[in-house]
Amino acid sequence: MPERPTRIIDLSPDDDALIQALLPWSVQAACINAPHWMPTLAHARIEIQRASGEQGVCRVLMDARQPCAWAAAAPCADSAWELHPLLVDPPRHGHGYGRQLAADIEAHARAAGALTMDVSTSDGTGATTLHGADLFADPLGALARIDVIDPVVGHAYRFWQSIGYALVGVLPDAEGVGVPSIRLAKSLRQAPTGHATGAASQRERAAG
């Protein structure tokens, strides 16, 4: 868990000051696994405005008065939502912010009736054994054998696994030759026990 008290707030597409504060480190965080996805501040602004304006939820984790992570999710099937993106300010990686924000987003999706959360993570930097491979020869075998190249660097798929997501697929060449999209999913059928998060605690407050 984060060492300091945090709060998580909604992000409105009209909140220009907050969006401005997210831009520089969102570009840096996105470049870690997907350097071509959001390479400039202009790309980041478009992505944040899209994510905060669509049906679903877009949330920012504040550490004191500083925004240090943001994430969005929206329905992608009758009973599934897709969580995309989740970005944590790079100097603050490894302090539990990603885990905390993902739990908040999952609670909102669950409260809206979602049974499954869907996530895709790319490997555009050669951080996993799937990068550069001819995956069509045996995609599920390659997925079963997936590993990180450098355990110190790791890869986001390991983050998702450590918060309860299962590897459910891989899309070869999704983002260029040899750049796959790794797909993971988590069941939202049961709320985590022991603490009320996000939408659950909102419902409890509303019930008085």
Name the site residues for ligand COA (rule: CB under 6 A): 29, 32-33, 85-88, 93-99, 119, 121, 154-156, 158-159, 162
Separation of alpha carbons 67 and 82, rounded Å: 22
CA atoms within 13 A on the CB side of 78: 0
Q: Give min distance, CB of 102 to ligand COA, in A.
A: 8
Residue closer to ligand COA, measured from CB, 194 or 208: 194
Q: Give min distance, CB of 97 to ligand COA, in A.
A: 4
CA atoms within 13 A on the CB side of 196: 8
Residue closer to ligand COA, measured from CB, 43 or 93: 93
Q: Give min distance, CB of 81 to ligand COA, in A.
A: 14
Give SS3 for 135: helix
Residue closer to ligand COA, measured from CB, 45 or 155: 155
Distances (CA, A) of 150 to 1, 52, 125, 128, 133: 25, 34, 12, 8, 17
Q: Give min distance, CB of 137 to ligand COA, in A.
A: 25
Residue in the shown chain whose Cβ atom is closest to ligand COA: 154
Q: Give min distance, CB of 207 to ligand COA, in A.
A: 30
Neighbouring residues of 50: CB distance < 8 A, sequence distance ≥ 6: none
Residue closer to ligand COA, measured from CB, 24 or 137: 24
Rounded to the nearest 5°, which phi and psi values hold at 190?
-115, 135
Residues written for the chain: 208
Residue closer to ligand COA, measured from CB, 67 or 85: 85
- Which regions of the chain does DSSP assign to beta strands (E)? 6-10, 57-63, 66-77, 80-88, 116-122, 166-171, 181-187
Q: Give min distance, CB of 112 to ligand COA, in A.
A: 21
Contact by Cβ (8 Å): 54, 74: yes
Residue closer to ligand COA, measured from CB, 45 or 183: 183
